[in-house]
Structure 1
């Protein structure tokens, strides 16, 4: 009796998972179909395109060519800087004891509770005063500063999951705190760093509000601003919009597919170490 019941439960579970997968992948399929349709076929949402309208991709690349590389130039350093600073800040917080360590920790976490809209205008004048308005380094600075609280929170909790016996054994061997951090703790935390890198990459790559606040030209404008330009008050260019959206998500998807195992281990708090 147990085997048929277990088999039915397995089939039901797989059916639910397949249905959930279809629900999640349906928007991507619709976007792919729309990106290959001519303007006359756009309104037939679920139909297949009669002819492959590659002009949509040509139009998308023509408008977002430089902004795509701007997004890469912004995302890679901003992710690296925010994770490095977050790891360095999270290391002592993971080993601090007493009320002082908790006070510093929660003070840093308040940065995660500040909505961007509150600091949007002061941020504009600050970046302009530093001479970094409409520059890629200005975007680095903003994303790094705004990402540090979350990176610190994430890495502090990940470092806290590393057995303290590892630190004590390193001390017995004459390894100081700085050497332990760079030589032992960071290499042992690759899963957490990979998970955080994917989270930060997605957040920075998809940013629009920072981009429209402190950029005004193609010199530093990321791909999200270019894609948003396809929707105006008069019309929406659905074909190029879908084509540009699909192209823009490829780097994030590639990063996730490459590091998905490390991503899962990192979200589990290092259970795979």
Structure 2
């Protein structure tokens, strides 16, 4: 019996290790491929005989300023998304009755609308506003399209904060707006961090918005430059893997820095 009891924790550990291998293997293969010469590309599972850094030189040359465009698009768009989602989610978390629920469900329907349905109208709208092929235009589109999800996320997170905190603030003379800016937002840093990571990954990896609403290097993000390395006639696997690995680094670094806040925020533990 003792041997069986000691062996039980081994099973979950083995499952977790196998899951980690499944998720890490594509990154390892991409990194190894980015260091292979054209002659070694076909040997997928092999280790490169040398460091073929020309792939990274080609990747940087092809990406150009698009990498910095992605940073300029992602950072403000994430801030705007969090701000709009928090402001919209706050009253919905504290509204009682069918009216608040109806507004909440109406906003949730926006999460069911695929981008392809609004792609053409959105193109004409952005062009009419004079924001086509501009970084501010990408801010506007990403912020607007993220309103349903950000509102859903922050509304549920705010609802997990004890209501007694809100009532105590009102008794002490704090206004609802003052409670939101001075108490609720500082108490919701873990939720904001979790949502920021989710949004930054989504915006950074966006390709459809980028292809539809940009046409030059002045606003084109890195995803469009990477897609250009794979044409219908030729796929440059070495530079493609190098560019892909470079584009993964900002999101990976952000997650590693804020992983505790990310997990805590997903569990909705701000007020506990």
TM-score, with length taken from structure 1: 0.98
Instruction: Give the equivalent residue in structure 1 for 2:117.
Output: 118
**Is 1:82 equivalent to 2:81 in the alignment?**
yes
CA contact 2:41–2:238 (8 Å) conserved in 1: yes
RMSD of equivalent CA atoms: 0.9
- Alignment deviations for residues 161-189 of structure 1 (CA, whole Å, 9 cap, x no partner): 00000001111111110000000000000
- Partner SS, residue 65 of structure 2: helix
- Number of the residue aligned with 1:127: 126
Q: What is the Cα deviation at residue 19 of structure 1? A: 1.2
Give SS of 1:220's match: coil
The equivalent of 1:35 in structure 2 is 34
Partner of 1:50: 49
Secondary structure in structure 1 of the residue aligned to 2:64: helix
Corresponding residue of 2:166: 167
1:104 is matched with which residue? Answer: 103
Superposed displacement of residue 109, structure 1: 1.1
Contact 1:134 1:216 in 2 (8 A): yes
The equivalences for 1:223-238 within 5 A come to 223-238=222-237
1:67 offset after TM fit, Å? 0.2
Offset at residue 23 of structure 1 (A)? 1.1
Cα separation, 1, equivalents of 2:3 and 2:12: 14
> In 2, are the aligned partners of 1:265 and 1:272 still within 8 Å (CA)?
no
* TM-superposition CA deviations, 1:139-158 (whole Å, max 9, x none): 00000000111000000000
User: How far, CA to CA, are the matches of 2:80 and 2:228 in structure 1?
Assistant: 29
Does residue 59 of the first structure (1) align with residue 33 of the second (2)?
no
How far did residue 17 of structure 1 move? Answer: 1.2
Number of residue equivalences: 272
What is residue 215 of structure 1 aligned with on the other side? Answer: 214
The 4+ residue runs of structure 1 with deviation greater than 6 A are none
1:203 aligns with 2:202: yes
Q: Distance in 2 between matches of 1:24 and 1:4?
A: 31
- The superposition leaves residues 42-75 of structure 1 with CA deviations (integer Å, 9 ceiling, x where unpaired) of 0000111111100000000011130000000000
Q: Deviation digits for residues 15-47 of structure 1, max 9, x if unmatched?
A: 121111111111111101100000010000011
How far, CA to CA, are the matches of 2:19 and 2:46 in structure 1?
A: 22
- Aligned-pair CA distance for 1:272: 7.1
Partner Cα distance (1:28, 1:251) in 2: 14
What CA deviation, in whole Å up to 9, does each residue of 1:92-140 have, x standing for no partner? 0000000100111111111111100000000000010011000000000
Q: Quote the offset at 1:88 in angstroms.
A: 0.4
Residue pair 1:57, 1:243 contacting (<8 A) in 2 also: yes
Paired with 2:259 and 2:5, the residues of 1 have a C-alpha distance of 30
Give yes or no for contact 2:201–2:251 (8 Å, CA) kept in 1: yes
Q: Distance in 2 between matches of 1:264 and 1:186?
A: 18
SS of alignment partner, residue 143 of structure 1: helix
Q: Which residue of 1 aligns with 2:257?
A: 258
Match of 1:72 in 2: 71
Q: CA deviation at 1:6?
A: 2.5
1:7 alignment counterpart: 6
